[in-house]
């Protein structure tokens, strides 16, 4: 797919975009203290003396956060740096108790990598990863609880973050959206971040500039902080790019600045001009020695790596015969992929995929529930497919059985047994019904024999009705053909 081009009377402009994504690391305790990272506790319940910036307190690195970062780096096909360093980023704010954030500056833990995204036209594109570093989160300032006071909640202060910086490789807003979905899928597969943008466990800063098609180098970019949904990211890029073009076309210049995206208007507005940019006075964190990873540790993490969505998708297509589309839908979410694999174990995977893409997802959508809450287990869905394959029930009856499974959570075999829905394949029994139908409808029999072969469908319907849908449609068809001549 070619990128987004904004055409004006005289020029064609292309969009250049890069992302910086903060992912909250899944770990039991914070990055530099033993306090819990549990979400939803009362304000300031998970705050250690370290997190509160008490005098004389020192950070100690949580190895779990390092492990998670290395795992994520591997998921981004990125270089793992055996040597990295922590730095202090100094600034004053009420929710930053130490007066500095411990982050990585010059030597990040993860270097260059790439993530492949699939575009709507079926093509794919590699997005370069510039680096990924780990750092601590700040607390939260709450300004709307009292007119003349601000409140500080330090529960989040010190929670581990991974900051992923992409190269300016996006040429269309949708590419950025697709990348975010892909990244979310990767970190969820890895269990390193829950990827919930609306809860703030994944936050995105967007850098946008434009240039004339064919122009070399980059023009001034603007950064939009904390755009908190995929939809808004797409919208922010589109509108910001248009703004740049309008400014240039009217003879103006873009100033390097930090802007804020307003989800209501869809527009961006100035937050901070460059001349007011902080001087963060980065320097190496003297309380923590450099982080040195040995080969054994890296190997250990490698062994813990799970199959990632791309690899899984390829396997589903190549080994299970799924279509690319079905495979990518089933692989986006690890829980869905796991469910599918459990359900299709030892049976025709394509048929299971059809069921999941059809009635099953429709049911989840209708109930507005996630797959983990599904009343139909993977095992039972698999059994339902078996019942069809083994001609115990027809595809049509199966749909009814599925409805009963959703209601009761029961095993389909039990439902079929109890409700007497077993398909009749005994040709003797079916023959009796066929004969009965033929005898009862002489006029139609005559019409059929006179050339109105289209009536065959009507006869099948009558037999099925008479058998309460349980007759095997194949047997019915061949018997009717034989009897009607």
Query: Which of 283, 306, 345, 407: binder of another protein (CB under 8 A)?
Result: 283
CB nearer to another protein: give 91 or 218.
91
CB nearer to another protein: give 11 or 90.
90
Choose the binding region for another protein from 15-23, 47-55, 189-197, 213-221 (rule: CB under 8 A): 47-55
* Interaction of residue 92 with another protein, rule CB under 8 A: yes
- CA 337/CA 349 separation, integer angstroms: 12
CB nearer to another protein: give 90 or 391.
90
CA dihedral sign, ordered 369, 375, 380, 385: negative
Provide the minimum distance between the beta carbon of 31 and another protein in the complex, in angstroms, as a whole number.
13
Each residue 61-80 as x (binds another protein by CB under 8 A) or -, in order, gives: x-------------------
CA end-to-end span of the chain: 57
Write out the two tokens for 167.
């190269």
* Interaction of residue 279 with another protein, rule CB under 8 A: yes
Provide the minimum distance between the beta carbon of 282 and another protein in the complex, in angstroms, as a whole number.
8
Q: Site residues for another protein, window 127-186 (CB under 8 A)?
A: 150, 152
Each residue 183-222 as x (binds another protein by CB under 8 A) or -, in order, gives: ----------------------------------------
For 442, residues 6+ apart whose C-beta sits below 8 A from its C-beta are: none
Query: Which of 8, 45, 49, 478: binder of another protein (CB under 8 A)?
Result: 49
Residue 66 DSSP code: H
Write out the two tokens for 152.
């500080």
Choose the binding region for another protein from 254-262, 277-285, 340-348, 436-444 (rule: CB under 8 A): 277-285
Contact 16, 211 (CB under 8 A): yes
Query: Which of 53, 111, 191, 469: binder of another protein (CB under 8 A)?
Result: 53
Provide the minimum distance between the beta carbon of 107 and another protein in the complex, in angstroms, as a whole number.
14
What value, to the nearest 5°, has the Cα angle with vertex 475 and ends 474 and 481?
Answer: 95
Query: Which of 5, 41, 94, 306: binder of another protein (CB under 8 A)?
Result: 94
Q: DSSP string spanning 368-437? A: T--GGG-SS-HHHHHHHHHHHHTTSS-HHHHHHHHHHHHHH---HHHHHHHHT-PPB--HHHHHHHHHHH
CB nearer to another protein: give 101 or 423.
101
Query: Which of 54, 213, 403, 432: binder of another protein (CB under 8 A)?
Result: 54
Query: Which of 22, 71, 88, 221: binder of another protein (CB under 8 A)?
Result: 88
Q: Site residues for another protein, window 405-424 (CB under 8 A)?
A: none
Query: Which of 55, 214, 346, 485: binder of another protein (CB under 8 A)?
Result: 55
Count of residues that interact with another protein, criterion CB under 8 A: 30
Q: Which of 187, 212, 222, 211 is nearest to 201 (CA)?
A: 187
* Interaction of residue 90 with another protein, rule CB under 8 A: yes
- CA 431/CA 440 separation, integer angstroms: 14
What is the largest distance, in Å, between two alpha-carbon atoms of the chain? 101
Torsion of Cα atoms, 458 then 459 then 464 then 468, to 10°:
90
* Interaction of residue 455 with another protein, rule CB under 8 A: no
Contact 111, 81 (CB under 8 A): yes
Query: Which of 5, 41, 58, 440: binder of another protein (CB under 8 A)?
Result: 58
User: What count of other Cβ atoms lies within 10 Å of the Cβ of residue 6?
Assistant: 18
Query: Which of 13, 100, 355, 360: binder of another protein (CB under 8 A)?
Result: 100
The residue assigned the tokens 């390097």 is 256
Choose the binding region for another protein from 54-62, 169-177, 187-195, 395-403 (rule: CB under 8 A): 54-62
- CA 320/CA 35 separation, integer angstroms: 45
* Interaction of residue 105 with another protein, rule CB under 8 A: no
E strand intervals along 28-93: 83-84, 87-90
Q: Which of 323, 327, 325 is nearest to 312 (CA)?
A: 327
- CA 59/CA 288 separation, integer angstroms: 7
- CA 437/CA 461 separation, integer angstroms: 10
How many CA atoms does the CB half-sphere of 59 hold within 13 Å?
A: 28
CB nearer to another protein: give 53 or 375.
53
Q: Site residues for another protein, window 289-308 (CB under 8 A)?
A: 289
Choose the binding region for another protein from 93-101, 261-269, 415-423, 458-466 (rule: CB under 8 A): 93-101
For 252, residues 6+ apart whose C-beta sits below 8 A from its C-beta are: none
Residues forming contacts to another protein in the complex (CB under 8 A) are: 49, 52-61, 88, 90, 92-94, 97-100, 150, 152, 279, 281-283, 286-289
């Amino acid at each position: 797919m070619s990128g987004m081009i904004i055409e004006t009377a005289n020029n064609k402009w292309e969009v250049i975009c890069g992302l910086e994504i903060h992912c909250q690391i899944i770990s039991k305790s914070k990055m530099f203290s033993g306090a819990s990272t549990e979400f939803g506790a009362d304000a300031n319940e998970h705050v250690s003396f370290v997190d509160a910036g008490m005098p004389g307190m020192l950070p100690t690195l949580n190895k779990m956060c390092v492990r998670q970062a290395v795992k994520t780096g591997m998921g981004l096909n990125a270089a793992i740096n055996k040597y990295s360093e922590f730095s202090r980023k100094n600034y004053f704010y009420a929710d930053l108790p130490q007066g500095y954030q411990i982050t990585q500056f010059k030597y990040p833990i993860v270097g260059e990598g790439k993530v492949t995204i699939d575009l709507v036209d079926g093509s794919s594109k590699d997005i370069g990863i510039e680096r990924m570093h780990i750092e601590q989160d700040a607390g939260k300032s709450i300004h709307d609880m009292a007119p003349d006071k601000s409140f500080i909640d330090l529960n989040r202060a010190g929670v581990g973050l991974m900051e992923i910086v992409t190269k300016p490789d996006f040429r269309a807003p949708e590419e950025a959206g697709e990348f975010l979905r892909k990244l979310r899928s990767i970190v969820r597969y890895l269990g390193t971040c829950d990827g919930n943008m609306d809860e703030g466990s994944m936050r995105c800063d967007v850098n946008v500039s434009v240039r004339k098609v064919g122009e070399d180098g980059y023009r001034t970019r603007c950064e939009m902080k904390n755009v908190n949904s995929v939809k808004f990211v797409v919208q922010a890029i589109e509108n910001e790019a248009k703004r740049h073009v309008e400014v240039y076309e009217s003879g103006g210049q873009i100033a390097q600045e930090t802007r804020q995206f307003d989800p209501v208007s869809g527009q961006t507005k100035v937050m901070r001009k460059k001349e007011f940019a902080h001087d963060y006075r980065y320097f190496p964190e003297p309380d923590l020695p450099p982080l040195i990873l040995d080969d054994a540790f890296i190997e250990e993490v490698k062994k813990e790596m799970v199959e990632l969505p791309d690899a899984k998708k390829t396997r589903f297509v190549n080994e299970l015969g799924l279509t690319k589309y079905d495979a990518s839908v089933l692989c986006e979410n690890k829980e869905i992929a796991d469910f599918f694999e459990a359900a299709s174990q030892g049976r025709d995977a394509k048929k299971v995929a059809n069921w999941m893409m059809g009635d099953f997802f429709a049911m989840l959508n209708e109930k507005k529930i996630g797959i983990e809450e599904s009343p139909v287990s993977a095992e039972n869905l698999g059994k339902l497919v078996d019942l069809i394959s083994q001609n115990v029930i027809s595809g049509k009856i199966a749909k009814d059985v599925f409805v009963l499974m959703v209601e009761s959570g029961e095993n389909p075999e039990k439902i079929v047994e109890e409700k007497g829905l077993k398909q009749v394949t005994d040709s003797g029994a079916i023959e009796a019904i066929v004969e009965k139908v033929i005898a009862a409808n002489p006029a139609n029999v005559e019409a059929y024999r006179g050339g109105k072969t289209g009536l065959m469908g009507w006869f099948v319907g009558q037999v099925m009705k008479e058998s309460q849908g349980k007759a095997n449609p194949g047997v019915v068809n061949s018997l009717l053909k034989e009897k009607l001549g």
